[in-house]
Amino acid sequence: MLASTDRCLFRPLKCWAKQMQIRDITNSDHPAILRLNEDSVNFLSPLTTIKLNALINQAIFHKVVIIDEIVAAFILAFDQNADYDSQNYLWFKDRYTSFVYIDRIVVSSEHRRKGIADTIYREIIIFARTNDYDYLTCEIDIIPPNPGSIKFHEKYNFVEVGTHWLYKGEKQVSLRERKVM
């Protein structure tokens, strides 16, 4: 049963969402994923084809959202058993025994504010509950700020559990958790 705080999970999607498909990432999605990542690289680490393949191989949850046969969004997430060298991921791995770390979620600029991120988060919350994980975790840029991501994650009851600086003090992130329940 979903907690009452998950009411945002049941927000009706826009009518175009009937054309939306969520599925696992395939090799044919890679060029579009690399473009989406590059479009949001100011909030993400850069990706190459080799790095993307390595991440997908480690990911416990890797999905794309397809709208009109185009990759409109993607998500990559890892659990506590991944062999992943991200400083943010390792921070959680040092402190949690059962978690899903949302490494990156990107929605194309033309598809933002249409319920896609909500749909993806509904899917990953169900995945985490079904597989008995204790927490969903993520990080959000706070310097420079990413106010849209902060607001979005607060809606899903992610709370700050730490912060740290990256890239020799050029970037600070808020490390967040959400109990799966």
Q: Which of 131, 2, 34 is nearest to 78 (CA)?
A: 131
On whether residue 62 sits in a domain, the answer given is: yes
Q: Which of 104, 97, 102 is nearest to 132 (CA)?
A: 97
The predicted-structure confidence for 27-65, as pLDDT tens digits, reads as follows: 999 999 999 888 776 666 778 899 999 999 999 999 999
3-state SS class at 121: helix
Interstrand relation of 61-67 and 70-79 (parallel, antiparallel or unpaired)? antiparallel
Q: Is residue 70 part of a domain?
A: yes
The pTM of the full predicted model, rounded to 2 decimals, is 0.86
- The sign one gets for the Cα dihedral 164, 77, 133, 7 is positive
Domain extent at residue 123: 4-136
The total of structural domains in the chain comes to 1
Enter the tokens of residue 131.
């597989």
Q: Residue 11 has what pLDDT?
A: 41
Cα-based torsion angle of the residue sequence 145, 147, 149, 151 in order, rounded to the nearest 10 degrees? 140
Pair 40, 148: CB distance under 8 Å: no
Q: What is the pLDDT of residue 19?
A: 79
Q: 7-11, 36-40, 48-52, 117-121 — which is least confidently predicted?
A: 7-11
| Domain contains 173 | no
CATH value at residue 52: 3.40.630.30
Mean pLDDT of 5-12: 39
172 part of a folded domain: no
For residue 130, tell me if it sits in a domain.
yes
* pLDDT value of position 81: 97
29: nearest Cα among 57, 62, 78: 62
pLDDT band of 1, cuts 50, 70, 90: very low
pLDDT band at 18 (very low <50, low <70, confident <90, very high): low
